[in-house]
Structure 1
Amino acid sequence: MVRVLVTRPEPGAARTMRRLRDMGFQPILLPLTDTVALPVEAGEIARDVAAVAVTSANAVRHAPEELIAMLAALPCHAVGNRTAEAARKAGFLSVSEGPGDTAALADAIVAGYSAGTIVYLTGRVRFPAFEERLTAAGVEVRAIETYDTLALDYSDTDLLGRLSRQPVEAVLLYSAKAAAVTQAVTRRPALRDLFEKTVFFALSGRIAATLENIVGARIRIAPEPHEEALLELLRAWR
């Protein structure tokens, strides 16, 4: 049975592992990052807010209730299905679901924009392209960081135990932070042999680019930045 390393944290990790088992893979849980809430002052919200944008479910999961309450009646533009689900669960009343791509979400916001500030709920660690695309189109963006992504540190002994000292055939990568930590792990002398033939499946090209020491056919990139495409890529590879 193909051993697949799941590097994402909860709550998504358990769902991914169930799906992998259903597909006939042997999932190995090794979260390499954790998300923690950041202090947010609800009073920071601009008075002329026109809408809310969210590109990560964690941004609404970690947002304080008072902040959500202030924004819940505004149109909420979510990047994809999972993020839209999280926004509705958090309390947003009108949520539009994007195709899973931040560039397409930015273009959709620009197309319907007339005036006012777009509040962007986001993490401290993020790519700037979404905000830059909006700003370049004349959209006023107010980014509010609700969470941070921290790398988790494991000893060689702990990692060898978690991996059962057996080679890992595949790794699923959902963020650039996790990809960077994964690369550091694969370079450890005690673990190098376990990743000698591993194939790395990345959710996007930006994530894959973090793996500087992995090249060629050992990197596969999902054609669309969502888990369905990533798991289908894994299925086709097997």
Structure 2
Amino acid sequence: MVRVLVTRPEPGASRTARRLETLGFQPVLLPLTETSALPVEATIGGDAVAVAVTSANAVRHAPQALVAALAGLPCHAVGKRTAEACRAAGFLSVTEGPGDAEALADAIAGGLAGKAIVYLCGRVRFPVFEQRLAAAGVQVQAIETYDTAGIDYDDADVVARLSGRSVEAALLYSAKASAALVGLMARPTLRHLFGKTQFLALSVRVAEPVERVAGNRVRIASKPEEDALLALLSLPG
């Protein structure tokens, strides 16, 4: 059975593991990052006309009172999984975006020029979403609801989690996790575990750190969604 390394944080890691088992793969969990809620004391501007969310974690970690205050506004979610999380959190009108933060900014900028929105987000994020909206004349109030930190493993931890055996494929969901995996691969005692691994990345940005060391063993999902990422497992390596 093909062993697939899952590097995303919980609770997503266990959800992905269940999907892999259903598809006939053997998941190996090695979360390389973890998320935690941040204290939120923001005052929502009264002129906000919409909410934007580019990560399911942003609503999962948001205080209930904050969600309640925003739930009546139109909510623009980056993709399917984030849209599901927004609806589950209590948002009443959720629009599912194209799956990519840059594309979401482009999709909503035209209708929001000169207006203000609330952006629920993480402390660790790429600035391009806010930059594109600002360039289009959209006022963005970013409210950071969670932080992302790396998880430090010693060599023995990694060997134990991988049962001392190599993995045929590794799923990469973030650039931070991709860079962390490169760091593990550089350790002399761990290098052999990844010598023939196929690295499957959610996007070009996620792939960049590992491409520098794995080259043609890196493949990128056709869309930045888990369905497209898992579809790579069924393609010839």
- TM-score interval (norm. to shorter): over 0.9
User: Shift in Å at residue 102 of structure 1?
Assistant: 1.6
Q: TM-score, normalised by structure 2?
A: 0.96
Q: Which runs of 5+ in 2 are unaligned?
A: none
The CA RMSD over aligned residues, in Å, is 1.3
Mark the CA change 1:237 to 1:12 in structure 2 (over 3 Å): closer, same or farther: farther
User: 5 Å matches for 1:80-99?
Assistant: 80-99=79-98
How much has 1:2 moved relative to structure 2? 1.3
- The one-letter amino acid of 2:77's match is A
SS in 2 for 1:110: helix
| Corresponding letter in the other structure for 1:154 | Y
Letter of the structure 2 residue corresponding to residue 40 of structure 1: V
Aligned residue in 1 for 2:165: 166
Distance in 1, matches of 2:36 and 2:209, equals 22
| Stretches (4+) displaced over 6 A | none
1:212 is displaced (CA, Å) by 5.4
Say whether residues 1:190 and 2:189 are aligned partners. Answer: yes
d(CA) in 2 for partners of 1:148 and 1:105? Answer: 22
* Partner secondary structure for residue 209 of structure 2: coil
Does the 8 Å contact 1:54/1:78 carry over to 2? yes
d(CA) in 1 for partners of 2:74, 2:216: 42
Q: Which amino acid counterpart does residue 182 of structure 2 have in structure 1?
A: Q
Q: For the residues of structure 1 that align with 2:214 and 2:156, how far apart are their CA atoms?
A: 27
Identity %: 66
SS in 1 for 2:210: coil
Instruction: Find the counterpart in structure 2 of residue 133 from structure 1.
Output: 132
CA offset digits 1:114-153 (Å, max 9, x no partner):
5431111000111111111111111111111110011001
1:180–1:211 contact (8 Å) kept in structure 2: yes
Q: Name the structure 2 match of 1:4.
A: 4
Q: Is the 8 A contact 1:42 1:66 kept in 2?
A: no
Offset at residue 46 of structure 1 (A) = 1.4
The residue number in structure 1 matching 2:61 is: 62
Q: What is the Cα deviation at residue 210 of structure 1?
A: 2.0
Residue 227 of structure 1 corresponds to which residue in structure 2?
A: 226
- Give the Å deviation of 1:42: 3.6
User: Whole-Å Cα distance in 1 between the matches of residues 98 and 176 of structure 2?
Assistant: 23
